[in-house]
């Protein structure tokens, strides 16, 4: 059974939540300085929800996600689906086709059209600022290519971070990236490691360990973790979820209705972060 989750990155969350950063400015307009003035050819979609309307814009630089989203809207796939997973100061998730007629006790998060979409990372241009629209997916262990769910997506609410908090996060993400490289290198050398252990070759193991660490530094230097000036400005003013960057495909953003998104993120939730009172997309339609 597959579950489409968006992970909260608990280590960073525990460290940073105690710092008490204030929420960003609240309004129903776009959350980005890159608005429609220079992007008049982008597709816009209206989501009429049970708590109000949300208008999102789809990026042309993620064409497979854009075209699939338009197809599903035109087929009526999103009409009636629930926001089945809501986490305050993080994100609101929807798009599970099974949720349309789900009972109050049903476990949701598995529904999809039966296919995935290849990842389309346009990073760091598009990132997890407040109001970003991104695709949910299954975890790396079963989905190393980070392909997106065919239908499930989330809207980022997030929180505002200080510059110091952003540096703490960057350092933790750097360590996580290096750990991941080391795991891959160890896996590639597992037969050699096994042979050395069986032979009790401690000198060989130490030499191989140093070789792997040196190689890790070379690989990491090719794509180091850093936040751009635009990211830093967004995350320290309007907020977002920076730890998700480069992990999930961001394919759009909210143009209007962040006040509605906030209404949804503030509803009471129960088991598996499902709202205790159903919140659904009543109808989705293409505006242009």
Residues 198 and 104 both lie in one domain: no
Residues 142 and 53 both lie in one domain: yes
- pLDDT for the residue numbered 28: 33
In which residue ranges of the chain is pLDDT below 50?
1, 9-37
Distance CA(213)–CA(274), nearest Å, equals 43
Residues 274 and 156 both lie in one domain: yes
| For the chain, percent of residues with pLDDT exceeding 90 | 83
- pLDDT for the residue numbered 141: 86
- pLDDT for the residue numbered 20: 29
- pLDDT for the residue numbered 288: 87
- pLDDT for the residue numbered 14: 28
- pLDDT for the residue numbered 2: 65
Which residues, in sequence order, are CB contacts of 77 under 8 Å at separation 6+?
Answer: 97, 113, 151
Q: Which of 63, 61, 265, 249 is nearest to 149 (CA)?
A: 249
**266 found inside a domain:** yes
Residues 119 and 184 both lie in one domain: no
The answer to whether residues 154 and 92 touch, using CB atoms and an 8 Å cutoff, is yes
Residues 204 and 77 both lie in one domain: no
Q: Which of 227, 237, 50, 268 is nearest to 131 (CA)?
A: 237
| pLDDT tens digit sequence for 248-284 | 999 999 999 999 999 999 999 999 999 999 999 999 9
Residues 151 and 183 both lie in one domain: no
DSSP letter at 218?
H
Residues 142 and 242 both lie in one domain: yes
Q: Where in the sequence is the domain holding 51, given as residue range(s)?
A: 10-160+237-286
**91 found inside a domain:** yes
- pLDDT for the residue numbered 38: 54
- pLDDT for the residue numbered 40: 73
**39 found inside a domain:** yes
The answer to whether residues 277 and 38 touch, using CB atoms and an 8 Å cutoff, is no
Give me 40's structure tokens.
């008049």
């Amino acid at each position: 059974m597959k579950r489409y989750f968006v992970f909260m990155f608990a280590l960073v969350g525990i460290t940073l939540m105690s710092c008490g950063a204030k929420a960003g400015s609240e309004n129903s307009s776009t959350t980005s300085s890159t608005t429609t003035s220079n992007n008049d050819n982008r597709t816009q979609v209206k989501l009429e929800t049970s708590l109000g309307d949300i208008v999102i814009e789809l990026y042309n630089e993620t064409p497979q996600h854009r075209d699939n989203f338009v197809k599903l809207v035109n087929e009526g796939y999103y009409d009636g689906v629930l926001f089945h997973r809501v986490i305050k100061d993080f994100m609101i998730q929807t798009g599970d086709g099974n949720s349309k007629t789900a009972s109050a006790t049903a476990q949701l998060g598995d529904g999809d059209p039966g296919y995935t979409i290849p990842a389309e990372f346009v990073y760091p241009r598009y990132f997890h600022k407040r109001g970003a629209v991104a695709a949910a997916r299954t975890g790396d262990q079963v989905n190393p290519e980070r392909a997106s769910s065919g239908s499930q997506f989330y809207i980022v609410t997030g929180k505002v971070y200080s510059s110091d908090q952003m540096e703490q996060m960057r350092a933790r993400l750097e360590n996580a990236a290096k750990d991941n490289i080391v795991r891959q290198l160890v896996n590639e050398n597992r037969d050699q490691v096994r042979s050395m252990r069986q032979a009790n070759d401690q000198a060989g193991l130490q030499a191989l360990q140093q070789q792997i660490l040196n190689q890790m530094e070379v690989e990491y230097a090719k794509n180091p973790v850093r936040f751009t000036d635009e990211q830093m400005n967004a995350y320290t003013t309007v907020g977002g979820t920076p730890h998700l960057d480069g992990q999930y495909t961001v394919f759009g953003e909210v143009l209007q209705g962040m006040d509605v998104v906030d209404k949804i993120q503030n509803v009471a939730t129960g088991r598996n972060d499902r709202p205790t009172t159903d919140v659904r997309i009543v109808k989705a339609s293409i505006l242009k």
